Amino acid sequence: MKIWIDADAAPRPVKDVVFRAARKNKLETILVANQSIATPPGVSSIRSIAVRHGANEADNYIAEHAEPGDMVITADIPLAERLVQQAIVTIDPRGEQYHADNIASRLSMRDFMDELRGAGAELGGSRPYNDVDKREFSSTFDRLLHRLMRDASRKAAD
């Protein structure tokens, strides 16, 4: 089981939550970005991979290397759709789990907003990441991490 972070835009509090869990549970954690991302010193289970610069390079790397039983943290809806189709547990930094029941509507809304921006509408960006977002992320992350760890233990016992 691995934890993957689409790290180009992952908020620091998200990384802190994941790093604590990775240290405690000795979980392989991989940050993927277009540049090198700092990892906690002395924790060999956490590493950073810098991919080539270019659109979707980090997304492609994650989609090609993540496997069912892993968890991916990303705010990128098209990447989340690819991962959900591969049966990979995927959550966003604000704590929403992407799954078959919500990914199509999330992608549709993203595409609609892109069309509006392309037509010249000024919509503003995302709201700032706050303590409520961090609590929601932490709660969802912990719940899903325990489920994945339990499933991995059962598989190993079989």
The chain-wide mean pLDDT, for the chain, equals 89
Supply the pLDDT for residue 46: 97
**Which residues neighbour 10 within 8 Å (Cβ) at sequence distance 6 or greater?**
31, 73, 75, 93
| CA separation for the pair 4, 71 (Å, rounded) | 6
Supply the pLDDT for residue 107: 64
Give the bridge partners for 71, in sequence order.
Answer: 3, 89
> Which two structure tokens, joined as six digits, stand for 114?
């892109």
Confidence category of residue 54, pLDDT binned at 50, 70, 90: confident
Number of domains in the chain: 1
Distance (Å) of CA 17 to CA 5, 34, 109: 12, 22, 28
Supply the pLDDT for residue 156: 86
Supply the pLDDT for residue 18: 97
The string of DSSP codes covering 33-58 is: ESS-----TT-TTEEEEEPPSSTTHH
Supply the pLDDT for residue 55: 75
Supply the pLDDT for residue 68: 96
**Angle 57-65/77-85 helices, nearest 10 degrees?**
20
Supply the pLDDT for residue 110: 57
Backbone angles phi, psi at 2, to 5 degrees: -130, 155
| CA separation for the pair 74, 95 (Å, rounded) | 10
Does residue 116 have a pLDDT over 70?
no
Q: What angle do CA 52, 55, 61 make, to 5 degrees?
A: 55
Supply the pLDDT for residue 10: 92
> Which two structure tokens, joined as six digits, stand for 29?
């954690």
Supply the pLDDT for residue 118: 66
CATH number of the domain enclosing 133: 3.40.50
- Taking the whole predicted model, whether its pTM rises above 0.75 is answered as yes
Does residue 112 have a pLDDT over 60?
no
Supply the pLDDT for residue 125: 63
Domain that holds residue 18: 2-120+129-157
Average pLDDT for residues 101-123, to the nearest whole number?
A: 65
